[in-house]
Amino acid sequence: MANGAMDDASLNTATTSIIGAAVPRIDGPFKATGTAQYTADFHFPNLVHAVPVQSTIANGTIRKLDTAKAESMPGVLLVLHKDNIGKLYRVIPNDFSATSSEARPPFEDTRIFYWGQYVAVVIAETLEQATAAAKAVQVEYDSAPASLKPSLADYAGKRKSVSKRGDVNKAYEEAPVKVDQLYVTPVETHNPIEMHASVAVWDGDNVTLYETTQGVWNAKLAMAQILGIPSENVQIITKYLGSGFGGKLFPWPHSAMAAVAAKRLNRPVKLSVNRRMMFSNVGHRPRCEQQMKIGATKDGKLVALRQDYLNHTSFIDDIDEGCGECTPYLYSVPNLEVTSALVQRNTGTPSPMRGPGAVPGLFAMESAMDEMAIALNIDPVELRLRNEPEKDESTGQKFSSRHLKECLETGREKFGWSKRNPAIGSMRGTGSQAGKILGWGMAAASWGAFRFGANASVELCPNGRVCVRSATQDIGTGTYTIFAQVLHDKIGVPLDRIDVFLGDTAHPEGAMSGGSWATASCIPSLVMACDNAKRTLLRLAVETEGSPHHNHDAAKLELTSGFVHPSDQPYHQGIPFEEIIRIARVSGVTGQGRTVSTFEDPKAKDFSLHSYSAVFVEVEWEPDIARLRVSRVVSVIDGGKIINRKAAANQIMGAVVMGVGMGLLEETRYDQRNGQPINGSMADYLVATCPDSPTIDVTFLDYPDLVMNEYGARGVGEIGLAGVAPAITAAVYHATGIRVRELPVRIEDLLKSNIREA
Amino acid sequence: MNQFNYLHPASTDQAVSSASSDGSKFIAGGTTLVDLMKLYVENPSTLVDVNDLPLAQVESLPNGGLRVGAMVRNSDLAFHPTVKEKYAVLSEALLSGASPQLRNMATTGGNLLQRTRCPYFRDVTAGPCNKRNPGTGCSAIDGFNRTMAILGTSDHCIATHPSDMDVAMTALEALIFIEGPKGKRSVPINDFYKLPGDTPHIENVLEPGELITHVEIPPAISTKQHYLKLRDRASYEFALASAAVVARVEGGHIHSVRIAMGGVGTRPWRAHEAEAVLTGKPATPAHFQAAAEAALRGAKPHTENAFKVELAKRCVIRALKVATA
Ligand SMILES: Cc1cc2nc3c(=O)[nH]c(=O)nc-3n(C[C@H](O)[C@H](O)[C@H](O)COP(=O)(O)OP(=O)(O)OC[C@H]3O[C@@H](n4cnc5c(N)ncnc54)[C@H](O)[C@@H]3O)c2cc1C
Ligand code: SF4
């Protein structure tokens, strides 16, 4: 694999079953030809456009809102604001059956909590008219001092103990070797290529909301609560998503604005959140400040681990980033404590972003481990291997399937780690890297494995096609294809005879696309639905007069490649399933399936369920001009059984590129006077571009985790990002001698290196 | 975007007369102008489209120089055989800028007049900005100023001139040809841009209605040339510091040299002091270092961009090293 390109041939040889094969996305042609309809692509007769008006202060109240000029402008139909939006409700807090992103519904009162907060919305015949009129809404504020300081260091309040065992303070004091450092990750903004949008269409008392959501079912329940209408009156449709990275898990206030406007005007309304609003109104990864204390014996056995983290949140919601996600179980250490606290700032509400908690948490944890390895003069891979736990020491549970050691050993081998000279700035590139210093660093990582409740309905149709329906959605990762693969595996009809219907709450409740759990959650429901449909079909085959299998024993029949046949005969001697359907005079055969969540599954309760990875990074560094590039990454993933190698490798590669952004580029900056995200555009907020992307080598260990589902799949959406940033900063240290503990690594940091020539 | 009239003249004369009314603007590739119109920063009442004017030729001149029409696209100029052969610094500069799609649209005239990327300038909801709204103040001085200029700034504006092409053109001592209501004239690029002073909204010597018709690049003093651009990421970002060098080296000594810097000045920055330090001296690291020190001697950093002083020096040194090698 060179430069991120996957070698299809090598992927295909991995397995003969479709489970694990590198199946191209079945929706690929629709996306490539532009026929896939993303939310903002939906258009209806009479549709009108909504453009929000945003606050220009970070804290205070609205004194006066004058819409007269805007209302008189061409094409303007309605201006909604706090005096005329009508009654909207909050979603019941901390009730996980339905969740919203920001507790406040739009225009709840006159208070302003952050720059960019919606204060009104203008609806007009065209987008241009609405945009112009939104500019003409006059808002006067009573501004109050805002809390905007990036640093959270002044926090002196209480801390919550998240995980605790042994006597960490004593053990740390007594430890012969110590690391005590503060690690900081900045605010990062989710920047999925598809921006948020909402298209609202009413039919009487029923509303259909075309949403950009990672959870159509949650959106249905949450929007029903917000609008104060029965949930059966709300339909949510998300056919395709241009990703979300967690920012689209739960509804944001713009959806309610579109819904109310559409109801009021009795016309379809489209509201597209633009890129600039993406930086203020739809979440971000909060800033995290983590004090890490690690104590170890001289031979590298951890004896104490303490993580005290802070993250900022808004004045509206308490969002704990959860930086202690992996700390309690990643390594064996008898004395440990993790504490957390929140610090309020005048920003919008943070929201989960790819690997929430684990990703910033592991930046701190793995950076501290690298510093500990240096303090001990032990190879950093070796240090991790020496601290491999037998069981989850935070819960006492067994690990369902943990192969972190093999990740580390495989990665070490593939990367060529044995050639590493640990002396700073000691390694030189050759060939195209001639004249550059190389830095090599590594990190371990982990992410939880979860299975949530989900339902699916499979239908064997009279035309020989097989349909599956579930109200989950494809966030862009390949869920449509994975559904088709499971159906093909279970029923045998070719992929081009399988129709997958997702992203619509008309279907049975499915899983949310988040936390890397969609695949693991969907599989049991799919398998069960297939089995149930099959059972009914075989029963019809033996019960229906005229069927060639009439009066046979159903237990001795099988469904293979779409044919019903006796188990002891080749499938093509049977008859196509659609024949049975015809003879039985039924409209089709359906089967329902349901997944029980890992939290309710007694079998899963005994296990600590996680994915693991090891990331090895090479940076190339030109000291005279302080130019640094991540040149090579080896990522070894223990993510359970891989269902689709192509889609999975795509996740890991994308995550590595995102990790380069996190390590070297990304930071949302708020102007300290008015709280405006000042780099809120794709030209100013830097993410990695193609030339910034390294050569990426992805390896899946592919051990099935059978506690999760019958294939043993866990999920790989997030694990690929965790570990990249600390491996980069370790490599940067190795190349330059500069330890960066506050991301991103900047040219400013690199200029401080004492090494001036390669 | 506001309502505007749209004119599509067929001749240069027509274009000039159409554009002399208040609030008129020429539009070429539109990559700067349309962007700023969508942001409500530019609000022209009339757009005069110059795409059909016969200004898209690159021609060699009898004196060995090159005449580049204002409508020559950045991509075409970068890949023009003469440019690649005799003005490599220009080709390198052009190709380091923006993205292929943008370079396919962007024109020579438009590039000369592209506007700063200062985030406060580009956002009408942001705080005050003297360039956008003369007399209101400068938000960058006490705000986000990491990417701002360290040379040629004033108490009224510290915005960086963003162009790469113009830096190479400065090192090549290009002449800008202008046609306006009062006739034709030409201005050396080094006299074309104005320092912000207390009128940062006035960025160059163009009078209302004046059209850039073409640029003439004199024969280069040497083909030993290099453009180096340093930035946070490898592409699609404006320079934090850049340097264009054209050097004539004879017997290991620098006979003559032209140095211009980008990403650090309020205009493309010709480094005469550095050139003086080097002229007649051996092409050695010590002299490059002395030249870089001289180039940045007047630098005035702000709260977040002190690193640019060091970065720009290193940029000049490496560019000199590569060009003279
Ligand atoms: C995202 C992005 C990234 C970029 N990155 C870079 C970069 O890294 N480096 C870089 O150098 N540039 C960069 N650019 C800027 C780009 O080079 C300029 O936008 C482009 O060169 C402008 O040319 P244009 O023909 O599109 O100008 P237009 O937008 O058409 O015009 C710009 C201005 O020039 C005036 N004008 C145009 N032609 C004439 C003429 N003949 N006579 C008089 N006035 C005229 C217009 O009235 C207008 O005021 C970037 C731009 C964008 C949008
Ligand atoms: S630096 Fe110039 S452009 Fe930027 S805010 Fe100040 S005055 Fe405006």
pLDDT value at A3 more than 60: no
B319 C-beta neighbours (distance < 10 Å), count: 29
Average pLDDT over residues A449-459: 97
Per-residue pLDDT, A167? 98
Residues A618 and A428: beta-carbon distance below 8 Å: no
Residues of B in Cβ contact (< 8 Å) with A127? none
> Whole-angstrom Cα distance, residue A685 to residue A188?
9
* Sheet of A76-81, strands arranged across: A76-81, A118-124, A48-54, A269-272, A197-203, A206-211, A234-237
Band (A282; pLDDT cuts 50, 70, 90):
very high
Q: What are the structural domains, with CATH classification, of chain A? A: 8-36+451-595 (3.30.365.10), 41-145+190-278 (3.30.365.10), 151-185+287-391 (3.30.365.10), 401-441+609-758 (3.30.365.10)
Check: CB of residue A137 under 8 Å from CB of residue A120.
yes
Q: Which residues in chain B have Cβ-Cβ distances shorter than 8 Å to A695?
A: none
Residue to probe by mutation, ligand 1, list B32, B103, B184, B187, most atoms within 8 Å of CB: B32
Sorted by sequence, the CB contacts under 8 Å of residue A418 that are 6+ apart come out as A412
Ligand at minimal distance from the CA of B142 is 2
pLDDT attached to residue A16: 74
Atom of ligand 1 nearest to the CA of B32: 29
Q: Are B120 and B140 in contact (CB under 8 A)?
A: yes
Query: Would the pLDDT of A430 be above 50?
Result: yes
Instruction: Give the rounded percent of residues in chain A with a pLDDT score beyond 70.
Output: 98
pLDDT digits (tens, 9 = 90+) for A301-316: 999 999 999 999 999 9
In terms of residues, how long is chain A?
Answer: 758
As a whole number of angstroms, the distance between CA A643 and CA A659 comes to: 24
Name the band, by pLDDT with cuts 50, 70 and 90, for residue A2.
very low
A748 CA → ligand 2 middle, Å: 23
| Percent of chain A whose predicted confidence (pLDDT) is above 90 | 97
Identify the pLDDT of residue A72.
98
List C-alpha distances in Å: A630 to A273, A441, A621, A688: 33, 11, 9, 10
Partner residue facing B314 (CB), from A626, A673, A686: A626
pLDDT in tens, A618-667: 999 999 999 999 999 999 999 999 999 999 999 999 999 999 999 999 99
Query: How far apart are alpha carbons A625 and A633 in whole angstroms?
Result: 23
User: What residue type is assigned to position B298 of the chain?
Assistant: G
Instruction: Label residue A10 by pLDDT band (50, 70, 90).
Output: very low
Average pLDDT over chain A, rounded to whole?
96
Q: Is A509 a catalytic residue?
A: no
What confidence score (pLDDT) does residue A284 get? 98
Residues of B with CB under 8 A from a CB of A: 1-2, 40, 117, 119-120, 123, 125-127, 139, 142-144, 228, 230, 232-237, 240, 307, 310-311, 314-315, 317-318
Ramachandran sector of residue A151 (left: φ over 0; alpha: ψ -120 to 50; beta: rest): beta
**Helices A253-265, A216-227: inter-axial angle, 10-degree rounding:** 60
pLDDT tens-digit profile, chain B (325 residues): 678 999 999 999 999 999 988 899 999 999 999 999 999 999 999 999 999 999 999 999 999 999 999 999 999 999 999 999 999 999 999 999 999 999 999 999 999 999 999 999 999 988 899 999 999 999 999 999 999 999 999 999 999 999 999 999 999 999 999 999 999 999 999 999 999 999 999 999 999 999 999 999 999 999 999 999 999 999 999 999 999 999 999 999 999 999 999 999 999 999 999 999 999 999 999 999 999 999 999 999 999 999 999 999 999 999 999 999 9
Mutate to test the interface with B, among A114, A621, A678, A753 (most CBs of B within 10 A): A678
Residue A396 pLDDT > 60, yes or no? yes
* Residue A29 burial by Cβ neighbours in a 10 Å radius (0-12, 13-18, 19+): exposed
Q: How far apart are CA A721 and CA A743, in angstroms?
A: 15
Q: Which of B102, B238, B267 to mutate to test the pocket of ligand 1 (most atoms within 8 A of CB)?
A: B102
Enclosing H/E stretch for A657? helix A645-664
Q: How many angstroms separate the CA of residue B307 from the nearest CA in chain A?
A: 6
- Contact: B143, A683; criterion CB under 8 Å: no
Binding pocket residue ranges, ligand 1, CB within 6 Å = A 683; B 25-33, 35, 50, 70, 74, 97-98, 102, 105-107, 109-111, 113-114, 162-165, 211-212, 238
User: What pLDDT does residue B50 have?
Assistant: 98
What pLDDT score was predicted for residue B20?
A: 83
Distance CA B8, CA B16 (A): 12
Long-range contacts formed by B93-96: CB under 8 A, 24+ apart: B93/B164, B93/B165, B93/B167, B93/B168, B93/B227, B93/B229, B93/B242, B93/B244, B93/B262, B94/B164, B94/B165, B94/B168, B96/B164, B96/B227, B96/B229, B96/B239, B96/B242
Do A114 and A54 meet the contact criterion of CB atoms below 8 Å apart?
A: no
Query: Phi/psi at A108 (nearest 5 deg)?
Result: -60, -40
Residues 6+ apart with CB under 8 A from B325: none
Q: What is the chain A residue with the closest CA to B240?
A: A747
Pocket test for ligand 1, best of B113, B211, B213, B231 (most atoms within 8 A of CB): B113
Structure tokens, A740: 């960066």
Residue A5 is predicted with a pLDDT of 39
**What is the token pair recorded at B242?**
């850049």
On chain B, the residues whose CB falls within 8 A of the CB of A686 are 232-233, 237
pLDDT (0 to 100) of residue A96: 85
pLDDT at position A13 over 80: no
- Residues A195 and A188: beta-carbon distance below 8 Å: no
What is the phi/psi pair of residue A159, to 5°?
-125, 145
CATH of domain B224-324: 3.30.390.50
CA B294 to chain centre: 22
Q: What is the reported pTM? A: 0.97
Using an 8 Å Cβ cutoff, are A480 and A426 in contact? no
Q: What is the dihedral of CA A590, A596, A602, A606, to 10 degrees?
A: 130
Of A489, A578, A580, nearest to A529 (Cα)?
A489
Spell out which residues line ligand 2, taking CB within 6 angstroms: B 116, 118, 120-121, 129-131, 138-140, 157-159, 200
Residue-wise DSSP of A171-215? HHHH-SEEEEEEEEE--B----SSPPEEEEEEETTEEEEEE--S-
What chain A residue is nearest to B233 in terms of C-alpha separation? A692
Q: Is the pLDDT of residue A4 over 80?
A: no
Q: Which of B237, B236, B93 is nearest to B84 (CA)?
A: B93
Q: How far is the CA of B69 from the centre of ligand 1 (A)?
A: 15
Distances in Å between the Cα of A491 and the Cα atoms of A410, A483, A526, A562 are 36, 12, 11, 6
Other CB atoms within a 10 A radius of the CB of residue B185 amount to 13
Task: Confirm or reject contact between A628 and chain B (CB < 8 A).
Answer: no
User: Which residue in chain A has the smallest CA separation from B127?
Assistant: A674
Q: Could you tell me the sign of the dihedral formed by the alpha carbons of A42, A48, A51, A52, in that order?
A: negative
Query: What does each C-alpha distance from B244 to A584, A751, B65, B117, B276 come to in angstroms?
Result: 81, 21, 18, 21, 16
Q: Is the CB of residue A112 less than 8 Å from the CB of residue A119?
A: yes
Letter for the amino acid at A308?
D
Mapping DSSP to helix (H, G, I), strand (E, B) and coil, where does residue A65 land? Answer: strand
Instruction: Give pLDDT tens digits for A659-712.
Output: 999 999 999 999 999 999 999 999 999 999 999 999 999 999 999 999 999 999
Measured between alpha carbons, how far is A721 from A446 in angstroms, rounded to an integer? 10
**Is the preceding peptide bond at A334 cis, omega within 30 degrees of 0?**
no
Inter-chain contact A665–B232, Cβ cutoff 8 Å?
A: yes
Element (H, E) at B261: strand B253-262
B192 Cα: distance to centroid of ligand 2 (angstroms): 20
How much distance in Å is there from the Cα of B28 to the middle of ligand 1? 8
Q: What angle do CA A35, A37, A39 make, to 5 degrees?
A: 160
Average pLDDT of the segment spanning A485-512: 96
**pLDDT per position as a tens digit, A259-278:** 999 999 999 999 999 999 99
Mutant choice from B95, B120, B144 vs A, greatest count of A C-beta within 10 A: B144
d(CA A503, CA B29): 41
- What's A740's DSSP letter? -
DSSP secondary structure letters along B283-310: --HHHHHHHHHHHTTT----TT-THHHH
**Which residue type does A100 have?**
S
Alpha carbon of A698 to ligand 1 centroid (Å):
41
Distance CA B190, CA B174 (A): 8
